[in-house]
Amino acid sequence: MIVSRPSSQTLISFTLFLLITCIVLTLNVVTIIQDRYAWYNLAIIGILVPIGVFVLYRIFIRYKVIRAGNNRLEITYPVFRKTHGFHLRQITSWRESIVKTGKKAVYKELEIVCDNRLRITIGQKEHTEYDKLVHYLQRKIPGKKVAEGSH
């Protein structure tokens, strides 16, 4: 059984980012409440709140665990207490996007589309067992792999 989840490094990095964001926001809100603020205090709040909410939603609320094995794929969203399980026959397509980000660096992303319109996307740097999951799909359903850019 292959279990892929966000890596601990990713979670720690975004937790630190959110912690720093909350501290900066708190300092700016206190300054505004004390009526000693400048325009940039409002700008900082206006910029950091949407970024913080987006990171909170994308990384922590949409946290997913993917289990693959026995010709099945199971996606669990612990925060929502939801689990989507399906047989590999229900996967309509999958693809691995590879983007060259430097001379030797690449970014890899796996996208899996199911017949119930469920679309799962995971990145190599952000998730554990990424390579094993790609290898599993290549071994079990190679015919459903689509070429890059044809989705």
pLDDT at 102 (0 to 100)? 85
- What is the Cα–Cα distance from 77 to 97, expressed in whole angstroms? 24
Instruction: Give the strand order in the sheet containing 91-100.
Output: 91-100, 106-114, 119-123
- What's the predicted TM-score (pTM) here? 0.81
**1 within 8 A of 10, measured Cβ to Cβ:** no
| All residues at 6 or more sequence positions from 149 whose CB lies less than 8 Å from its CB, including other chains | none
pLDDT over threshold 80, residue 150: no
Tens digits of residue pLDDT in 44-64: 999 999 999 999 998 888 899
